[in-house]
Amino acid sequence: MASLDVPLQVQTKLRVFMIPSFATGHLLPMTDLARLLTIRPNVKPTIMTTPANATLIQPTLDLLADMGHQVQLLIYPFPSVGLPSGIENLATAPPSEEWRIYKAQDMCQPAYESILKAHRPDAIIADVAFWWVTDIAAELSIPRITFYPPGVFPQVVMSNLFKIRSEIISLDVKNAQPVNVPDLPSPEINIPVSELPTFLVEENFLADVWMKIKMAQLEGFGVVVNTYYELEPEYCDLYRKVDAKRVYFVGPVALSSGGDDQRIVKRGGNGNTVCLDWLDGKEKGSVVYVCFGSWCHFTITQLSELAFGLEESGKNFLWVVRGGEDEKFGWIPERWEERIRSRGLIIKGWAPQVAILQHESIGAFLTHCGWNSLLEAASYGVPVLTWPLVFDQFINERLFVDVKGWGARVWEGGNRGPKLGEKKVVPRAAIADVVSKFMEPGGKGDIMRGKAQEMAAMAKAAVQEGGSSWNDLTCLIYDLMKEKVKCNVRSENSHT
């Protein structure tokens, strides 16, 4: 009979199947986690995804293979949901068609069940969106780990607000006082109703999804979160107590370690380095990096105002514009590119964000407050100018601006929120003012830059051997190894 005390180094490979969702902001962190697993002894990760999503991560996997680290790809067909061929991700779907991506994710359940039953891995790490994988894992007696690309703070805030959801729903969105988030460690957090995710302020299907996610999380083996303990310690302590059987804080998963510069350049794209070459010609800390994620969209009017605001700020900027064809090309003011050529660069499409944030010329990051972007800024000591747009981004903003104190809002005062984003235009004068003041030597930006660099030092220490995230990843592997041995023992006993 096998022994639970068998040393880990003599165990067979731990086969871990990983299931990312169809969103670049979830797919890339899952791939980064697979990278961290495969460089550890005796772990064999396999990523399950669709053809077009596989192309986004293939460059990273190829580089890993060149270094002797193998991550397997298991590709299955993207369901037919009425999208053109090759559109399999929220980043490439038009805003009006995003619902089809979510529908496709739900339609994948039979495929996942068939694949997992055929391969019977030792463990499953599935994106938070796939709450129903917990049931498949239980049927197969396989541990299921929930992967949360966002951090702990937004989860704790939304969980605590969900407890008083009925009270929030009764409030007048336009006239209500900000809602106080209950049961949080200090400082006190107050959020206007207009800035809360819709499932907290109105009756919709997402509330039911939230409850299913939380139930699956509590019933599963544990949760892996893309954060590091030192970034949000009080909230991590609270999360460990109430949100899962086991919690592993393993981030920042994208943080570069020595010898993998090519990986961060090619991460999620084609490895184009034009923007990095441009940054090489700028002074240290002189450039504002502007990017609003892979699937957030602006109106044409707002894009134009942002363009003029950046121009009138008088500061260097690198602006990545993603989205549909109109958002990439149809809005640029006449002769604008000619006027800003000496100090501004606009990239239409993909750009190597981690490599950009790592560049010494970057002095600030104007961001939508997606968790990945904020965590990557923290990893490289870049202070943030915040412009949240949807879902948990307004909550994320509060951690970095109000709690940590190394960010400043672009959009101050008045009503903000996901439903107001298309109705309210932030004027060029306000954008120019906040950017120019933030980048002035000796000003607020310099103070926040110092705080951000302290957080970066903590992030780098966390992922080094012996650091908090390194140790949590070690614990995850060890716990899954022990579970594998237990399963082997049960299997042997059932045959005796």
Cβ neighbors of 342 (< 8 A, separation 6 or more) are none
- Decide the pairing of beta strands 179-180 and 190-191: antiparallel
Told to judge if 326 belongs to the known catalytic residues of this protein, a careful annotator would answer: no
Told to judge if 495 belongs to the known catalytic residues of this protein, a careful annotator would answer: no
Distance (Å, whole) CA 411 – CA 403: 18
Question: Of the listed 26, 297, 359, 368, which one is catalytic?
Answer: 26
Distance (Å, whole) CA 77 – CA 90: 17
Question: Of the listed 127, 243, 392, 472, which one is catalytic?
Answer: 127
Q: Across-strand partners of 404?
A: none
Using an 8 Å Cβ cutoff, are 18 and 125 in contact?
A: yes
Phi then psi for residue 390, to 5 deg, are: -145, 165
Per-residue b or e along 101-116, where b marks 16 or more CB atoms closer than 10 Å to that residue's CB: bbebbeebeeebbebb
Supply the residues annotated as catalytic.
Answer: 26, 127
